[in-house]
C-alpha cells in the first residue's frame, strides 16, 4: 500500500512541477504579447495563427495537468509546445553549452521529457478526473 501511495504522490509532484512552472511562461506571454512567436512562425513558413497554441500549451494544459484533468492529452500538448519551441527558437543550438555550463535548450528539453513522462505515467490517484467521472479527492 505504501508503494502505491508513494507512486501516486510522486506523480502528483511531477504534475505540480511541470504544470505549475509552465504556467509562468504562459502568463509572461499573455502580459508581454505573442508578436515574437508570430514572427518566428512566419520565418519558418508556418501560419502565424498557430500562436494560439501557446496559451493552450502553456496555460490551459498546465492547469489541467495540475488538477489531473485530461492529464495525458494535456501533457502531450505541453510536449508538442516544447517540441515547437525547440524547432522555432533553438534548432540544433539546444545542444550548445550555455554560459552557465548547461545545455542552451535544457529547460525546453526538461519540459518535453517531463511532460512525456506524465503522459506515460498518467495522473495517479490524486486527480480530479478519472475516466468519465469527476472525483473530488
Q: Is a pLDDT exceeding 90 seen at residue 5?
A: no
Q: What mean pLDDT comes out for the span 108-137?
A: 85
C-alpha cell at 13: 509532484
DSSP string computed for 49-114: GGGGHHHIIIIIHHHHHHHTSSHHHHHHHHHHHHHHHIIIIIGGGGGSB-TTSSBTTHHHHHHHHH
Instruction: Give the model confidence (pLDDT) of 48-58 as tens digits.
Output: 999 999 999 99
Matching residue, cell 508556418: 46
Q: Which helix (H) or strand (E) holds 133?
A: strand 133-134
- How many domains is the chain built from? 1
Checking if the pLDDT of 37 tops 60, the result is yes
Integer Cα distance of 123 and 135 in angstroms: 13
What is the extent of the structural domain holding 40? 2-134
The values of phi and psi at residue 116, to 5°, are -65, -35
Q: Tell me what percent of the residues of the chain surpass a pLDDT of 90.
A: 76
Distance CA 20, CA 66 (A): 7
pLDDT at 75 over 70: yes
pLDDT of residue 4: 67
CB 75 within 8 A of CB 84: no
Q: Would you tell me the crossing angle of helices 2-32 and 106-121 to the nearest 10 degrees? A: 140
Amino acid at each position: 500500500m505504501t508503494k502505491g501511495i508513494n507512486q501516486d504522490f510522486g506523480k502528483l509532484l511531477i504534475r505540480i512541477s511541470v504544470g505549475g512552472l509552465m504556467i509562468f511562461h504562459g502568463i509572461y506571454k499573455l502580459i508581454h504579447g505573442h508578436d515574437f512567436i508570430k514572427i518566428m512562425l512566419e520565418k519558418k513558413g508556418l501560419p502565424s495563427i498557430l500562436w494560439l497554441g501557446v496559451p493552450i500549451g502553456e496555460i490551459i494544459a498546465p492547469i489541467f495537468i495540475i488538477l489531473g484533468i485530461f492529464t495525458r492529452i494535456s501533457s502531450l500538448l505541453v510536449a508538442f509546445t516544447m517540441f515547437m519551441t525547440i524547432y522555432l527558437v533553438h534548432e540544433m543550438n539546444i545542444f550548445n553549452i550555455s554560459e552557465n555550463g548547461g545545455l542552451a535548450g535544457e529547460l525546453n528539453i526538461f519540459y518535453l521529457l517531463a511532460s512525456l513522462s506524465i503522459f506515460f505515467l498518467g495522473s495517479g490517484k490524486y486527480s480530479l478526473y478519472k475516466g468519465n467521472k469527476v472525483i473530488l479527492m
